[in-house]
Amino acid sequence: MIAAASLRRSPPHVVIIGGGGTGGALAHDLALRGLRVTVLERGEVTSGTTGRHHGLLHSGARYAVGDPESAVECIEENRILRRIAPGSFEENDGLFVAVTDDDADFGPTFLAACEAAGIPTRRLERSAVLRLEPNLNPELRFAVQVPDATMDAMRLPLRFFATALANGAVVRPFTEVVELVCRGRTVTGVVAVEHATGRRVEIGADIVVNATGPWAERIARLAGVDVPLQPSPGVLVALRGRFTNMVVNRLHASGDGDIVVPQRALSVVGTSSWLVDDPDDLGVPSDHVERMRVEGARLVPAVARAPLRAAWSAARPLIGERGATTGRELSRTFRCFDHAAEGVEGFVTISGGKATTQRAMAEVTADLVCRKLGLDAPCRTREQVLLPHEAYYGLLRRATVPAGRLAG
């Protein structure tokens, strides 16, 4: 175990590839533990999958029946994020709405699963629901209130980045990793292109973390290892108009277009699902866009006619063996891969998960990184309140380091 004093004198350097929610939360976690951190992101931070999601802060109820491991992760992180990032959520709770009798029959299973996962629920009868949210489908049978909320998909992670910067982390957006530097089978650093100057820079690291979400396999291949990752995009649609304050979910097993998330003056309806090989080439199938309106309108009828603000796709990083045809084996949980298991030292991948669990993903990864470095440094991110997102760009300017200082 490295003594605290020597840790302060020459802390190990961790390079994080990927400036999404996970990369930001990990930089924050490692910086708090006293390590030297550099985040490299090829575009603007959160420009991968993180910025694109509908902004749901999961209660976990959505996964209670089919993926209880994810459900428990979600409700725990839901509480932690509200505590460490106050003022970053539209905190109006959510509803799971039974629109048909089949939905209603699913109710008892749903409620029991939520209870098992520790997700607080409150069943509301039809008239009470319509008083709360008059724009819901009047044919609803009943609804279950859960602690969903809306987060700002970009500004919440920005708080992790801002705090990490304030604690000495280096964040370098528009800096794209193109190679890994290896000594034998040990990864010792990266080569990156700094797009603002066109320069190639070599950055040494004690550990390199691959936190690139659905691009994790592309980066892992740079080290000659594989990650069982299946990028799975879905279409989302933003409509003009705020029709509900609460997040509205369909009370059923799962399906396309079964969630309407209010966000400022927009209503975001999601989502669909298909599989791709290349997360940079997603497309926006127009039949999926139509499906969002049709299915979303079953929850909130106004969705059928509301003007379209945007239609876009985002790729989920699903962990599981490739070749899965239905994807039923693919969970929404996250996993940390220590590639020492494949004989490559100094390289770790974290992927899977969702925005709600970004802090937990970071904790697990930081724990692994510290174990590999022989450090005894506990996680402090469950309690540490984050800086406001407005601090990010000012801190980023001050932290910009000339390239020459980063070698080794």
Partner 1 sequence: MSGLDGGARASSRAPSASSVEQQSAPARLRVYRHKPGAAAAPRFEIYEVPASAGATVLDALLWIRRHRDPGLMVRHSCLHASCGTCGMRIAGREALACVTSLAELGPGEVTVEPLANLPLVGDLVVDMEPSYARLRAIGRPLVRESELRPEGRPAEGIPGPTRFEDCIECGLCLSACPIVATDPRYLGPAGLAAAWRSVEEPRGGAVGRVLALADDEQGVWRCHTAWECTEACPSNVDPAGSIMRLRRAIVLAPRPKQ
Partner 2 sequence: MSERELGDRDAGPGRPLDRRRGVAGWVDPRGRRLGGWAFILNRVTGIGIVVYLYLHLGVLSLLARGPEAWDAFIAVALSPLFLFFDVVLLAGLLIHGLNGIRVTLTGFGLVLDAQKALFVALMILAAIVLLVGAIRLVEVG
> Residue from 332, 339, 352, 365 that binds partner 1 (CB under 8 A)?
332
Phi–psi pair at 9, nearest 5 degrees: -70, -50
Q: Give the Cβ contact number of residue 338 at 10 Å.
A: 17
Q: Which is nearer to partner 2, 131 or 405 (CB)?
A: 405
Q: Which is nearer to partner 1, 27 or 344 (CB)?
A: 27
Phi–psi pair at 146, nearest 5 degrees: -135, 160
Segment interacting with partner 2, rule: CB under 8 A, options 37-45, 81-89, 169-177, 391-399: 391-399
> Residue from 9, 131, 397, 405 that binds partner 2 (CB under 8 A)?
397
Q: From the CB of 379, what's the least distance to partner 2, in Å?
A: 32
| 393 interacts with partner 1 by CB under 8 A | yes
| 400 interacts with partner 2 by CB under 8 A | yes
Q: From the CB of 197, what's the least distance to partner 2, in Å?
A: 7
Determine the number of helices (DSSP H) and then strands (DSSP E) in the chain: 10, 20
| 236 interacts with partner 1 by CB under 8 A | yes
| 21 interacts with partner 1 by CB under 8 A | no
Distance (Å) of CA 398 to CA 13, 26, 311, 343, 393: 20, 20, 36, 39, 9
Q: Give the Cβ contact number of residue 251 at 10 Å.
A: 26
Residue 265 binding result from partner 2, partner 1, none, given CB thresholds of 5 to 8 Å by partner type? partner 1
Q: From the CB of 271, what's the least distance to partner 1, in Å?
A: 5
| 386 interacts with partner 1 by CB under 8 A | no
Phi–psi pair at 285, nearest 5 degrees: -60, 125
Residue 192 corresponds to which tokens in the numbers above? 């990156």
> Residue from 21, 214, 234, 346 that binds partner 1 (CB under 8 A)?
234
Quickly tell me which residue has 């930089």 as its tokens: 27
Let me know if 214 is exposed, middle or buried by CB neighbors in 10 A (0-12, 13-18, 19+): buried
Residues 151-210 that bind partner 2 (CB under 8 A): 196-197
> Residue from 108, 184, 307, 402 that binds partner 2 (CB under 8 A)?
402
| 375 interacts with partner 1 by CB under 8 A | no
Q: Which is nearer to partner 2, 109 or 197 (CB)?
A: 197
Q: Is the separation of the CB atoms in 227 and 322 below 8 Å?
A: no
Q: From the CB of 212, what's the least distance to partner 2, in Å?
A: 26
Q: How far apart are CA 146 and CA 133, in angstroms?
A: 14
| 405 interacts with partner 1 by CB under 8 A | no
Hey, what amino acid is at 333? T
Q: Which is nearer to partner 2, 197 or 254 (CB)?
A: 197
Residue 220 corresponds to which tokens in the numbers above? 């892992």
Angle between helix 68-84 and helix 358-373 axes, rounded to 10 deg = 90
Q: From the CB of 353, what's the least distance to partner 1, in Å?
A: 11
Residue 402 binding result from partner 1, partner 2, none, given CB thresholds of 5 to 8 Å by partner type? partner 2
Strand 247-250 to 94-98 pairing = parallel
Q: Is the separation of the CB atoms in 302 and 241 below 8 Å?
A: yes
Chain residues that interact with partner 2, rule: CB under 8 A: 196-197, 394, 397-398, 400, 402
